[in-house]
Amino acid sequence: MIVVTGGAGFIGSALVWELNRRGEDDILVVDHLGETEKWKNLVGLRFNDYLDKSVFIDRLTRDHFGDRLRAILHLGACSATTEKDADYLIENNYRYTARIAAWRESRPRCRLIYASSAATYGDGAQGYADDETALPNLRPLNMYGYSKHLFDLLALRKGWLKDIVGLKYFNVFGPNEYHKDDMRSVINKAYPQVRDEGRIRLFKSHRPDYADGEQLRDFIYVKDAIAMTLFFLDHPDIGGIYNIGTGRAQSWNDVAAALFKAAGRPLHIDYIPMPEHLQGKYQYYTCADLSKLQAAGWSQPCRSLEDAVDDYVRRYLAMDAHLSLA
């Protein structure tokens, strides 16, 4: 059985979708649905069972599953970069992952792949190379990034990274992010306005070395991100921390241009002030260093930003559709 935690979420449900496309359906989805709309991401997908995250971790630590777990793809986390409850983030993002990894120590045949984050890199002053020895030097800018960083450090100290994999996802966008509220991609949030009003709002720059809208990010389509993720399921001999991105830094203006082109509308950008609470925590540049991933054997090119946005708009946003096997 393959466990996908956060399996009703954005990247997690995309992983279930791709596993289904590979013929895999012996899957346990773990999540916490509450009153959210995440359940819609599961419609049309195949899996054996669903468990709430609290039930799963209780059963796991009591060894309910025995040797039946082939892999745990641990995508479950609070991914809100604006979340202020530090205790909640520590418990949900750090300690929960630590409990899974501690269980796995006695079940080494179970593959563990977990989600770290590019937010651990902070302002990028230490670069974006996924070198485990450089982990202690990183300084995340928000509590979300720090909660992820804490587990990376624990895994390093415990020696777990020799045979488990941590993935630092950069700016992932694509179908099944509808439920994420303010954490949705700009593409998802802006599409209705582009379609109906022919305009988009982007943050002004508060640094003289970046023009408005020219802040740079490594934007990766979710379909490419899950292909990279499953590369590590297919190669269980690989351990360590790896970046998941395109290796290209592109601007918000580039995103806007691709979105307007896909929507068939002329480009119109309004630049608005960045909220004060974000100004000291904003990343002006991110770009995944993929040299380590490529050295591990990954060679598949990612879609261009324009092609990815076009696929997202035409097949999903315009159709109000989720990833589905139907």
Residues with a known catalytic role: 144, 180
Is residue 122 within 8 A of residue 129, CB to CB? The reply is no
Report the C-alpha gap between 88 and 109 in whole angstroms: 31
DSSP assignment of 28-77 equals EEEE--TTSSGGGGGTT---SEEEEHHHHHHHHHTT-STT--SEEEE--S
Name the residue among 306, 162, 148 with its Cα closest to residue 239.
162
Nearest alpha-carbon partner for 56 in 40, 78, 76, 37: 76
CA R_g for the chain: 19
Distance of CA 255 to the CA centre of its chain: 18
3-state secondary structure of 220: strand
Strand-pair partners of 112: 72
Q: What is the DSSP string of 234-301?
A: H-TT--EEEEES-S--EEHHHHHHHHHHHHT----EEEEPPPHHHHTT--SB-----HHHHHTT--PP
Which residue shows structure tokens 């059963």? 59
Could you give phi then psi for residue 271, rounded to 5 degrees? -95, 130
Q: How far is 248 from 302, CA to CA, in rounded Å?
A: 10
Q: Select from 37, 6, 16 the least CA-distant residue to 117.
A: 6
